[in-house]
Amino acid sequence: MEVIICDDAGSAGLLAARLVAEVVRDKPGAVLGLATGSTPLGLYQALIEMHRREALDFSRVTTFNLDEYVGLPVEHPASYHSFIRINFLDHVNVPPERIHIPDGLADDIPAACRRYEAEIAAAGGIDVQILGIGADGHIGFNEPSSSLASRTRIKTLTEETRGDNARFFDGAVGVPSHVITIGIGTIMDARMCLLLAFGEGKAEAVVKAMEGPVTSMVPASALQFHPNAKAIVDGAAANRLQLASYYRWTYEHKPSWQRHE
């Protein structure tokens, strides 16, 4: 996995946005895998700016969100339907019929999950999957012990994740225990994965995922098997990486076209 250590979350978000924009410019009908959480906010803001100022066009783009809470009305402010619209989709020109978000209100959840996988396949697969990382190493809502071959399905959140996400709800009681998430196998099928992580609170998950053994106990470690995965982190999230100075040196000495400047 390529590890890129940026000065701060702002420059990391901008770099990630440039990588996503390159994919969209090369392939106007690109399929984007979208993540929620506070981490990708700068990336979305930078893409919105590029749409406004540089006419970055999303009119042929298709999007698939990673996950959604089960049983939460889509209009709830903490639903990932609300989140992705407010923070990204309401500000760019992805046609509504090309936007896909798991249906946490489906009567038949296994059928909805199978349909979601089929829709990803019908769209030609995900070109670039944007990812954050949970403090416990989860990607999407694939909690520790998730099968590394998993597909879209219902999952139960750990108490740690419910506690971490309580800030978006009225206290921990309000955080649903169940979610729909695309699987680790689904994520691994994406042609490129971009994992972002910022802040001291992510340092342990980052070192385990990037430099530890590949294990279902750290779902993000599966990305070590991905042929085109990049982790874009800030200094605080990188501060436990054994090879941090090697990653820094490597990136600084790349030709500028490889640095996506």
Would you state the structure tokens that stand for residue 21, as one six-digit string?
């924009």
Would you state the structure tokens that stand for residue 108, as one six-digit string?
């038949």
Counting contacts by CB under 6 A, is residue 45 touching ligand GLP? no
By beta carbon distance, the residue nearest ligand GLP is: 132
Judged by CB under 6 A, which stretch of 45-53, 97-105, 129-137, 248-256 contacts ligand GLP?
A: 129-137
The interface with ligand GLP within residues 65-94 (CB under 6 A) comprises 66-67
Counting contacts by CB under 6 A, is residue 158 touching ligand GLP? no
Give yes or no: 143 in active site: yes
- Of positions 16, 35, 101, 218, contacts ligand GLP by CB under 6 A: 35
Residue among 13 and 132 whose Cβ is closer to ligand GLP:
132
Distance CA 249, CA 251 (A): 6
The interface with ligand GLP within residues 164-193 (CB under 6 A) comprises 165
Counting contacts by CB under 6 A, is residue 142 touching ligand GLP? no
Which residues make Cβ contacts (< 8 Å) with residue 12, sequence separation at least 6?
Answer: 4, 6, 42, 196, 198, 232, 233, 234
Counting contacts by CB under 6 A, is residue 39 touching ligand GLP? yes
Judged by CB under 6 A, which stretch of 31-39, 105-113, 121-129, 147-155 contacts ligand GLP?
A: 31-39
CB of 14 to ligand GLP, least distance (A): 17
Q: How far apart are the first and last CA of the chain?
A: 20
- Of positions 13, 33, 37, 104, contacts ligand GLP by CB under 6 A: 37
Residue among 3 and 187 whose Cβ is closer to ligand GLP:
187
Point out the catalytic residue in the list 68, 103, 127, 136. Answer: 136
Residue among 56 and 63 whose Cβ is closer to ligand GLP:
63
Phi, psi of 223 (to 5 degrees): -65, -15
Distance CA 202, CA 89 (A): 27
Point out the catalytic residue in the list 138, 164, 226, 234. Answer: 138
Burial-class residue 196 by CB neighbours within 10 Å (0-12, 13-18, 19+): buried
Residue among 14 and 35 whose Cβ is closer to ligand GLP:
35
Point out the catalytic residue in the list 103, 127, 143, 189. Answer: 143
CB of 59 to ligand GLP, least distance (A): 26
Give yes or no: 136 in active site: yes
Chain positions contacting ligand GLP, by CB under 6 A: 35-39, 66-67, 132-134, 140-141, 161, 165
> Would you please indicate which residues are annotated as catalytic (active-site) residues?
67, 136, 138, 143
